[in-house]
Copies of this chain bind each other. A is one copy, B any other.
Amino acid sequence: MFHFDDDYTYRMPAHFGGVKGGDLHDLQYDDVTSIAISYLTDEEQLAQYVPDAFEIVEPSLNIEYQKCCGIHWMGGGEYTLLALMTPVRHLSSGTVGAYALVVWENKTAPILGGREETGIPKIFADIPDYHLLDGHASAHASHEGRAFLELDLQLDHELSAEDVAARNSAPRINQMGWRHIPNIGRPGAAVSHATLYPVDVTYLSGGTGTATATWTPMDSLQNPMQYHIIAALAGLPVVEYRPGVLAKMVTHLRGDLARELV
């Protein structure tokens, strides 16, 4: 019969075998196209969605679309994500970074690992490839044929070599999440704690411009597991847009540095 070994790390289904030691590595993504859109919002409303183990560093909603290609752990394959982050400080550890409010992804495999192994709250959406024409970039996410978030970026400035170098001088993003696994059949949690999952980003080229994000709420019959998330984010007012960024980059998901935050 199958026997669990305490020196191994397993994923469900665990009984087909695990690996000795830890199983989180530096995951390189060779070819990433990013569309980043950010706006200031109302801090009080935003605070409803950030656990009280954190404090908000700046009340902004940072939306980043990434078409990720050349993914080493996928045999050079690809998936696309849409991450919604806000800048925070983890109080007890003092870690400053980006708290993941939600991350939509269009493949299941990275969703499972992200949730169960690092507490990043990934859920599924259809996210077609971005469009790019005459300096206008757009992307959107949908659930079963109904778009709930549209991103638009009109480029007006190309990043210089100096701009790129400046962005690469501080490549580390301290991505943080909250891993929560419920009890079965009764309230409360089997696991519930803050997590750290750093990402290193190397910009290759890019441009900036005027950006907008447009939310379309869904109802509970259309998107039963996500409509409350979309409603919450759609309800955050846009106080002021920042310049949007379109960039080509290489990313390293530093699974080797992931840990619980206590």
Interface residues of A in 29-78 (CB under 8 A from B): 30-31, 47-52, 54-55, 69-70, 72-78
**A167 part of interface (Cβ distance < 8 Å):** no
Q: Are the CB atoms of A187 and B54 closer together than 8 Å? A: no
Chain B contacts of A138 at CB under 8 A?
A: 76, 221
Interface residues of A in 91-136 (CB under 8 A from B): 100-102, 107-109, 111-112, 115-119, 121-124, 126, 128-129, 131-134, 136
Q: Are the CB atoms of B77 and A184 closer together than 8 Å? A: no
Which stretch (A14-22, A156-164, A203-211, A239-247) binds chain B?
A14-22
Chain B contacts of A224 at CB under 8 A?
A: 73-75, 109
CB-CB nearest in chain B for A257: B185
SS class, residues of chain A in contact with chain B:
mixed
Task: With both chains docked as a complex, state the minimum distance between the C-beta of A97 and any C-beta of chain B, in angstroms.
Answer: 16
Q: Are the CB atoms of A48 and B2 closer together than 8 Å? A: yes
Q: Are the CB atoms of B14 and A178 closer together than 8 Å? A: yes
Assembly CA distance A128 to B107 (angstroms): 13
Q: A15-B50, A15-B101 are in contact. Are A131 and B75 (CB under 8 A)?
A: yes
How many residues of chain A are within 8 Å of chain B by beta carbon?
101
Q: Are the CB atoms of A76 and B128 closer together than 8 Å? A: no
Copies of this protein, total: 4
**A165 part of interface (Cβ distance < 8 Å):** no
Chain B contacts of A133 at CB under 8 A?
A: 30, 70, 72, 75-76, 221
Assembly CA distance A118 to B182 (angstroms): 10
Chain B contacts of A30 at CB under 8 A?
A: 132-133
Task: With both chains docked as a complex, state the minimum distance between the C-beta of A80 and any C-beta of chain B, in angstroms.
Answer: 10
Task: With both chains docked as a complex, state the minimum distance between the C-beta of A217 and any C-beta of chain B, in angstroms.
Answer: 13
Chain A interface residues (CB < 8 Å from chain B): 1-4, 6-17, 20-24, 30-31, 47-52, 54-55, 69-70, 72-78, 100-102, 107-109, 111-112, 115-119, 121-124, 126, 128-129, 131-134, 136-138, 140-142, 144-147, 178-192, 195, 220-222, 224-225, 228-229, 232, 258-260
The 10 closest A-B pairs by CB, nearest first: A76-B133, A13-B121, A142-B145, A75-B221, A108-B124, A1-B52, A76-B131, A12-B121, A14-B180, A185-B259
